[in-house]
Amino acid sequence: MTQEKLNLLVLGNGGREHALCWKIKQSPLVGALYCAPGNGGTQDVAQNIALNPESAEEVISFCTEHKIDLVIIGPEAPLVSGVSDALRVAGFPAFGPSAAAAQLEGSKGFTKDLCAEASIPTADYGRFDNARDAHHYLDTHPAPIVIKADGLAAGKGVIIAMNDKEAHNAVDMIFDGAFGAAGAELVIEEFMEGEEASFFVLTDGKRAIPLATAQDHKRVGDNDTGPNTGGMGAYSPAPVMTPALIEQSLDEIIMPTLTTLAGRGTPYTGVLYAGLMLTKDGPKLVEYNARFGDPECQVLMARLESDIVPALMGCAYADLSDIGLDWSPDTALTVVMASAGYPENYEKGSEINGLDAASEAGAVIFHAGTAKKDEATIAVGGRVLNITAKAATISQARGIAYDAISRIDWKEGFCRSDIGWREIERQKP
């Protein structure tokens, strides 16, 4: 007797969702695979569906009609707005935390208060809902200092102020509406010194299974200069996250978070992404995300050798007791190609050519801000392509990725030329 195959729906339209669809498609357990709304690349591995991933009503209607067995929620906005809760009430398993647990990403103040309650190492902070009190706080907490919009700001709501004038200007900018509703409140944090790393776990609310380590490059320019972005590239593994640091991060950061949320009656299930600062005093939490990082997801999926579907189902059903994951020993590296002007104003509608030639160089091209118009690939977003390569060393993976990029004909696009530079410098004799 053969097992009936599963119908899966992935919500989102970024490079993360293309990478998830690409990996899910490899599973022998999967029958139909849909992506809503998807992009110009997801249509090669899934069926794109024109529905709003933040509309629980639309998602549930589609799930009912197409007998969906699991919904994988990619981006943060549907999680924070409660789409996973609505799906579960309607009887559809969902990979992703409840809206209550997703406040770990939806409100930086919520997370800072939870850290204080659970004695989780993080930066000292203040929480403010008005500019006057925030300015007073800055008067006694000189720069460098970090100013963060409390809510979701697409990875752009963080200002690292290197002097007091920049700090006061950032407070005014946020309260003046630079990030919309996300800036109704803000958090001011101590500036932490160290190296950042991304740490991911899958969790059923009780257990936490560490995923492979990764590091991303947030700044738009070479040598980590310029404004923060959603991420300009990433690589995995990140050797700076040693086994001892992984164990310490689990014990002091991840597990206290899960225990505290479960104790409140809002257990966290899904993937939990901790942005860490590796300080001289040990790892400290920078922030949490309630979903896979983008572009870290791309390098994780490139290295994951196990079938991902049982792990996704284990999170959705709150039981990871029988799940183990195997990883390639190789390094994966991804370079983000973005539209000129990103992360500020950028043009949409330019045509991208040469993607087949880039794939022939040995890279996997994950699409993010693309759409297909007839047979042409069109740039419709800020971060547009993720050129991903896997090889025995980070230098070899980077060589493949940039060779592939050299074959892409897209004059309106740009990328950093130094993804992975920290690790490559460390490995020099």
What is the arithmetic mean of pLDDT over 347-376?
A: 96
First to last CA, the chain: 58
pLDDT in tens, 310-349: 999 999 999 999 999 999 999 999 999 999 999 999 999 9
What integer pLDDT is reported at residue 238 of this predicted model? 92
337, 414 Cβ separation under 8 angstroms: yes
Q: Name the CA dihedral angle for 106, 211, 54, 25, rounded to a multiple of 10 degrees.
A: 170
- pLDDT of 398 higher than 90: yes
Higher pLDDT, 156 or 263: 263
More confident residue, 313 or 227: 313
Which pLDDT does position 1 carry in this prediction?
Answer: 39
Residue spans in the chain of domains classed CATH 3.30.1490.20 = 130-184
CATH number of 194-316: 3.30.470.20
Average pLDDT of span 226-240? 92
Q: What are the pLDDT digits (tens) for 175-195?
A: 999 898 889 999 999 999 998
Going by C-alpha positions, the residue among 246, 237, 218, 264 that lies closest to residue 333 is: 237
- State the pTM of this model: 0.93
Asked whether 311 and 202 are in contact (CB, 8 A), the reply is yes
Percent of the chain exceeding pLDDT 90 equals 90
**Distance between CA 337 and CA 358 in Å, rounded?**
13
State in words which class domain 331-427 has.
Answer: alpha beta
Measured CA to CA, the distance from residue 359 to residue 371 in angstroms comes to 18
List, by residue range, all CATH 3.40.50.20 domains of the chain.
7-95
34: nearest Cα among 82, 79, 75, 72 = 72
- Give, in order, the Cα–Cα distances in Å from 327 to each of 200, 210, 254, 302: 14, 11, 21, 9
Could you give the CA distance from residue 328 to residue 95 in angstroms, rounded to a whole number?
Answer: 24
Q: Is the pLDDT of residue 90 over 90?
A: yes
How far is 367 from 40, CA to CA, in rounded Å?
Answer: 7
Give, in order, the Cα–Cα distances in Å from 380 to each of 77, 250, 320, 350: 20, 39, 38, 8
Indicate whether 149 pLDDT > 80: yes
Question: What pLDDT, on the 0 to 100 scale, is given for residue 3?
Answer: 65
pLDDT at 151: 87
Tell me the pLDDT of the chain averaged across its residues: 95
- CA–CA separation, 286 and 264 (whole Å): 22
In the chain, which segments carry CATH 3.30.470.20?
194-316
- Long-range contacts for 138-142 (Cβ within 8 Å, ≥24 apart)? 138/164, 138/167, 138/168, 138/171, 138/188, 141/188, 141/190
- The CATH architecture that domain 7-95 belongs to is 3-Layer(aba) Sandwich (3.40)
CATH number corresponding to 130-184: 3.30.1490.20
Question: Is 21 strand, coil or helix?
Answer: helix
* Average pLDDT score over residue span 85-107: 96
Rounded CA separation 197/201 (Å): 13
> Can you give 233-283 as a three-state secondary structure string?
EEEECCCCCCHHHHHHHHHHHHHHHHHHHHHCCCCCCEEEEEEEEEECCEE
* Per-residue pLDDT at 162 exceeds 90: yes
For 298, counting Cβ atoms within 10 Å of its Cβ (0-12 exposed, 13-18 middle, 19+ buried), the class is: buried
